[in-house]
Every structure is written in C-alpha cells, then in structure tokens.
Amino acid sequence: MEQLGIEPKLLAAQVINFFIILFVLQKLLYKPILGMLEKRKRTIEEGLVLTEKMRVEEEKMKQKQEKLLGAARSEAQKIIEEGKKQGKEAEKEILAEAHTAAQEVALRGRAEVDRLHKQMEKDIRVQAVQLAEAMTVRLTQGLVPAKDQHKIIADHIKKLEAMGGK
C-alpha cells in the first residue's frame, strides 16, 4: 500500500480519529440536535391538534350562536305578535267604549231636544193665547159693550187653553 501512497499507520490513525470524532459528534451534537428536532416535532403536532380542537370548538360555538340567535328571533317575533294582538284588543275596547259614549251623548241630545221642543210648544201656546186675547180685545173694543167683551174673551181663552192642552 505504500506504493499507492497510503501509509498504514497514518490510515489507522485517521480511521481512529474518524471514529473518535464520530463518537464525540454523536454524543455532543447529534443526540441533542435530534432531541431538539423531536421536541419541535412534538410541539408542532400538539399545535396542530390544538388548532383542530379550536376549529371544532369554533364550529360548535357558531352553531350555538346560530341556535341562540334563532331562538331570540323567534322570541322577538312572538313578542311582536303578542303586542299586535294586544293592540288590536285595545283598539276594539276603545272603539266599543267610544261607541257606547257616542250613543249616550246621542240619547242625552235627543232627550234635550225633546225637552226643548216641549218647552217651545208650551211657550208658543202661551204666546198664542196672549196674542189671541190682545187681538180679541182690540177687535171688540168698539163693537161690543165692555161687559160682554169680558165674557167673550173669557170664553175664547178657555177654548184656546183647551186646544193648547191637547
């Protein structure tokens, strides 16, 4: 081997040095680097698992939120419908009360009109009697003696009062 330019002692020393460096590198660098790489690999896997769990939780929360939102919407719709129903009932009650009040006012108005009508008829009769008496007195002043005038006037007044009482 010497003819090839290889010295066996030097080759043996290089092989021993190679194994020593290989042993030292494996103990000092290779195992710690592999340990760090393994630790990093586990951390990444845990992160991925945690990310998946968070995504699943997020979906669950979205579904819960949708359910709650739907329930809130339906509850709000029920409240609105109930409000409308109560409004319609209140409207009916108010209209019924207003109708009753209007009927009462109309009845009172009719009663007042009837009372005023009767009062006016009575006043007109009284005035008609007074007018007839005045006319009779004027017409009979020169034609009939005073004694007979009083008798005729009294008869006419009685007839007029009898007619007015009917």
pLDDT in the model for residue 166: 55
Q: Look at residue 46 in the predicted model and tell me its pLDDT.
A: 95
Could you read off the pLDDT of 5-22 as tens digits, one per residue?
778 888 899 999 999 999
Q: Whose CA is closest to 148, among 160, 140, 156, 158?
A: 140
Q: Which residues in the chain show pLDDT less than 50?
A: none
Tokens of 37: 């790489």
Q: Could you tell me the two tokens for 62?
A: 């979205």
Q: Decide if 153 contacts 136 (C-beta within 8 A).
A: yes
Write out the H or E segment, with its range, that includes residue 68. helix 31-140
So what's the pLDDT on residue 115?
94
Q: What is the pLDDT of residues 135-149, one digit of tens each?
A: 777 776 666 676 776
From the list 36, 96, 12, 15, the residue with the least C-alpha distance to 104 is 96
Residue 41: predicted pLDDT: 96
Note the pLDDT of residue 87: 93
Radius of gyration of the chain, Cα coordinates, nearest whole angstrom: 64
pLDDT at 144: 66
Q: What is the pTM of this model?
A: 0.41
Q: What's residue 126's pLDDT?
A: 83
pLDDT at residue 54, rounded to an integer: 96
- Quote the pLDDT of residue 136: 74
Distance, CA of 125 to CA of 165 (rounded, Å): 9
